[in-house]
Every structure is written in structure tokens, then in C-alpha cells.
Amino acid sequence: MSPGTTKHTGPVPARTGAGRGAGRGAAAPWLYLAPALVVLGGLLVYPIYQLGLISFLEYTQAQVSGGEPTTFQGFANYAELFGDSQFWDVAVATLVFAAVCVVSTLAVGCALAVLLTRIRAIPRFVLMLAALAAWATPAITGSTVWVFLFDPDFGPVNKVLVWCGLSGFQDYSWTYDRYSAFALVLCEVVWCSFPFVMVTVYAGIKAIPAEVLEAAALDGASNWRIWRAVMAPMLRPILVVVTIQSIIWDFKVFTQIYVMTNGGGIAGQNLTLNVYAYQKAFASSQYSLGSAIGVVMLVILLAVTLVYLRLLRRQGEER
């Protein structure tokens, strides 16, 4: 080596071909996801865009039939909606009803999931079969059956209650009063929703090592203490999934309310936002107002879900 030659001892630069290969590797997951993203874009993004667009237009039956041109209304539809006292009553009722449905569904589903781990094979199979049958029943069919069960004239529930000495239930109409009607719909919603929670949580419990539960029992922990301190933390990812799914399902309940209360109850006393939007859009041909209600529902649902996830994350960081 000549005196004027410098020896390079530093790291060798990466090859250009290797960099291109890394770039292709980073893009590979997106290429695999591209078909699903295209389908989701067509099924979700475009309808949401159309929903938001119509909410800013004057869109009634006259515009649907082509008799009058659509005009841009700005936030006039939202101003009309927020100025309607009935909207706020329906919104509050929807939030309360959905919250009670979610809590009740999770409580029943988790309790039965724990019960499945304590009973023998044959009772477990019967309970699983009954739960899956309720889950597989179409919403309109299940709602019709529940309406018959609680019918004031021919329903077996009233007859059994009267036979037990509760004479006040003679010809009693469960859908006449606002709160009893909501309670009846609540029971039907929980009946058709708890199997998803039960099966999912049961699968998660079976994945917990038996040694952990045995150690907690040997330490003298009660069943409730074992669930709260051992099972629930280990089942957190599963509980997050079933809770979010329950929030989405119960917030947008339509069929049960519409069928069991005959379109929203007497004078609209059992309306939820979904049924309210349907009445505005299709019964009154106010499609722009119905779309505005749909946008508000979407925003509320996203806000509730994000707040729930944030609270769970904060609790996880505190632990």
C-alpha cells in the first residue's frame, strides 16, 4: 500500500439492492391488505361520505323524484335537529338504554361463562346449545316471539303471574308503559346478545392456566375475588373486544324496538335514534334530517368507543 493511500476501516454502506428489498418488504403487508381495504372502502367509506353529503343538502321526496333540484343547506339541517326537543329526549333515552343493555349483556354473558367451567359436560352442552339457538334466531323472529309471550290477552307470562297470585297482571300490557316497554326490549336484546359474550369469555377462561386459578383458590380467594383479581385482568383483551362489539350492537338497536313497540311506542315514547332516523327519513320523507341523525349517531359511537379505550389504557398504565 502506497503512503498516499488511505485505508477505509468504517462500516460498509448498505447495497442499493438490499435497500430496495427492504422497501418491498415493508410494502408487502399493504399489498396483501389491499383487496380487503378496497372492499371496506366500498362498503364503509363511500356510504359514510354519501350520508354526510345528504345531511348538508335539502333532500326530500321532491328531490328524490327529480321534481326539484337539490340545494346546499350547510348546517341548517343540524340546526333544525338540535333545536328539536324530541331529538334530545330520544338521544338521552338511547344512551341510557344502550348502556344498560351493554352492562346487562356483559354481566349475564360473563356469569354464564364462569358457570360453564363449573358444570359437567351434559349440562354444559345443553346450555351451549340453548345459547347458540338464541344467538342464531333472527332478530325479527325473536322479537315476535317475545311479543307473543308477553301479550296481554294470550301471553303465557301474564297467565303464569296471575296464577301465582299477582292479579294486577290480568290483561296487563307490557308495551303501554314507557319503562316496562323498554325493560321488555332490554330482556330480548340481552337474550339474543349474551351468547356471543358467553362463548368468547368461556374460550378465554379455558386458555387461563389451571395452576393460576388453583393457587388463588388455595389462598382462600372467593369466586368473586378470583374473577376480579385474576380472571378479569387476564381476559382484558377479550373483554375489550366484546364490550366494544356490544356497544356497537346495542347503540344501533332497531328491529327489537320497531317490532316490539310497534314503531317506537305510544306517541314515540320508546324511540331510539335508529328508529327516529327511520321515521324522519322514510315516514316523513325528510332524508336530509335522517342522514343528519345518522351522522350524529356515528360521532357519538366513535366518541364513546374512544373514551372507553382511553380509560382502559389509563387503567393498564396505572397497574
Return the sign of the alpha-carbon dihedral for residues 64, 69, 72, 76: negative
Which tens digits make up the pLDDT trace of 120-151? 999 999 999 999 999 999 999 999 999 999 99
In the predicted model, is pLDDT for residue 6 greater than 70? no
pLDDT value for 9: 52
pLDDT value for 131: 93
d(CA 68, CA 228): 61
In the predicted model, is pLDDT for residue 189 greater than 80? yes
**Strands annotated E in the chain:** none
pLDDT value for 18: 52
Q: Which residue has the higher pLDDT, 68 or 249?
A: 249
pLDDT value for 11: 53
The DSSP line for 279-293 is IIIIIS-BHHHHHHH
d(CA 192, CA 250): 11
pLDDT value for 228: 86
For the stretch 31-39, contacts whose Cβ atoms lie closer than 8 Å and that sit 24 or more positions apart, written own/partner, are none
Mean local confidence (pLDDT), 250-254: 92
Q: For residue 23, what pLDDT band results from cuts at 50, 70 and 90?
A: low
pLDDT value for 316: 64
pLDDT value for 314: 76
Give whole-number Cα distances, 95 to 15, 76, 102, 253, 275, in Å. 59, 25, 11, 11, 14
Regarding the domain delimited by 93-273, which CATH topology (the fold level of the hierarchy) does it fall under?
MetI-like fold (1.10.3720)
Q: For residue 218, what pLDDT band results from cuts at 50, 70 and 90?
A: confident
Quick one: cell of 54? 345528504
pLDDT value for 158: 93
pLDDT value for 10: 52
In the predicted model, is pLDDT for residue 27 greater than 60? yes
**Averaged pLDDT score across all residues of the chain:** 87
In the predicted model, is pLDDT for residue 54 greater than 80? yes
pLDDT value for 317: 62
Mean local confidence (pLDDT), 232-258: 91
pLDDT value for 40: 82
List the single range of 39-48, 245-254, 306-315 with lowest mean pLDDT: 306-315
Which tens digits make up the pLDDT trace of 292-317? 999 999 999 989 888 888 877 776 66
Which tens digits make up the pLDDT trace of 73-94? 889 999 999 999 999 999 999 9
Mean local confidence (pLDDT), 99-115: 95
pLDDT value for 296: 95
pTM of the model: 0.83
Q: Which residue has the higher pLDDT, 82 or 63?
A: 82
60 beta partners: 286
In the predicted model, is pLDDT for residue 159 greater than 70? yes
List the single range of 21-35, 194-208, 271-285 with lowest mean pLDDT: 21-35
Instruction: Give the domain ranges of the chain.
Output: 93-273
pLDDT value for 310: 83
Q: For residue 22, what pLDDT band results from cuts at 50, 70 and 90?
A: low
In the predicted model, is pLDDT for residue 271 greater than 70? yes
d(CA 182, CA 259): 12
